[in-house]
Amino acid sequence: MLFAPKCIGNIRLDPATLEPDKKHCTRIGSCGIGEKAIYLNSFFIDRTYYVAITDVRRCFKRVAMSKGGFSGRGIFGSMPYLVVQFSNGTEKQCNFKFEEDVDRFLQRLQKDHPEIPIYSKEAEKKLEAARIAEEARYVKNLSDKAQHSIHVLEHAKTFLEKKPEVSENLSEMAKRKRSVDGVKASNLFIAAAILFLSIAAAALGAVSIARGEGSWAKYFVLFGFAGMFFTAAAGILPTAKHNKKSVQKDWDQAVSKAQSYIESYDGEESFPVPATYAHPVVIDRVIRVIREGRAEEIADAFRIMEADLKSLDRTKTVTQKEYDEIIAVKPMFLVMNYQ
């Protein structure tokens, strides 16, 4: 193998095993999942490290939320990481550009290697406590109308889960549209200025080095490239695929695909939620409203769920489960302005 990944765990794989495993691994973001190992990134290079599956004790998501969140303020919303814990107690933290890629990685890992926990120990305790607290709010004896609504919703959820890429694409495109639409003109100007100054500094340094003028030139090149990497990582400046026109087109296509799919719905009644919100998490949250006795009809429960979601912002403290739900579906409601 020309560029063999470096082992960072306790168990090394022989080259004959490692090479085909990496070649055929499932690539998600900057990492990968193989049959024998998980492939992890460095800050700049994808899948440059590996840890044997038998050496992985736990794998979970860690999110650093900066000021802004869903408010649309601030340059960054959240900074997602994949954390892999090894059998010796150490861990490796990998940065991801998109949080949905971390979620997809963990979902695939759970599917391929269900023996590996995908939550931290603290998160597991909180999830269990949240589950008990949630079930305590459920009404024990629901009316026939409420039970029928739940039955219809569960059938719709099963239908969506038959083709999960429809909902996943809807969620992902909403996040990207929200990210682009939320960039303020002032932030765009600042990022453009940083990029321009960075290019100028790098060019000046390169010319000075070529002329043999002073030892300071290398620092201009260094800081120039650092500034360019910063603006690229921030994702503020528009690119060929990351601009308002492009993400609007992607969002419209995602909605169109969702609409086309639910037109083939085989339920007794029409599909219970609009195509723009055709996601299993949305249906789960509507079911939860009915189970809590706050509504019996699906339409009423949907409006209550929508109001609950709208009230959640960066000032609220939520469980890990609810945080994951918010991340998955709130961008869709924000893009549609809750209509």
- 55/9 Cα distance (integer angstroms): 7
The sign of the dihedral angle between the CA atoms of 185, 190, 195, 200 is positive
Q: Mean pLDDT of all residues in the chain?
A: 85
For residue 30, pLDDT beyond 60: yes
- pLDDT bracket for residue 291 (50, 70, 90): very high
pLDDT at 281: 94
- pLDDT bracket for residue 236 (50, 70, 90): low
CA separation (Å) from 311 to 18, 290, 307, 317, 330? Answer: 49, 19, 6, 12, 11
- 171/166 Cα distance (integer angstroms): 9
pLDDT at 74: 38
pLDDT at 4: 83
CA separation (Å) from 259 to 98, 255, 262, 303? Answer: 25, 6, 5, 20
At residue 57, the 3 state secondary structure works out as strand
pLDDT at 118: 92
- In this prediction the pTM is 0.68
- 116/124 Cα distance (integer angstroms): 13
pLDDT at 300: 95
pLDDT at 130: 84
Query: Please, what's the b/e burial string for 142-169 (b: 16 or more CB within 10 A of its CB; e: otherwise)?
Result: beeebebbbebbebbbebbeeeeebbbb
Contact criterion met (CB below 8 Å) for 29 and 98? yes
pLDDT at 238: 66
- pLDDT bracket for residue 318 (50, 70, 90): confident
* Both tokens assigned to 182: 């939320």
pLDDT tens readout for residues 254-263: 999 999 999 9
Side-chain-side CA neighbours of residue 107 (13 Å): 11
pLDDT tens readout for residues 75-122: 345 678 999 999 888 899 998 888 888 988 998 999 899 999 999 888
Residue ranges of domains in the chain: 6-118, 125-181+242-335, 185-234
- pLDDT bracket for residue 316 (50, 70, 90): confident
pLDDT tens readout for residues 141-183: 999 999 999 999 999 999 999 999 999 999 989 988 887 777 6
CATH of 6-118, one of 1.20.950, 2.30.29, 1.25.40, 3.40.50: 2.30.29
Q: Of 19-23, 98-102, 207-211, which has the strongest mean pLDDT? A: 19-23
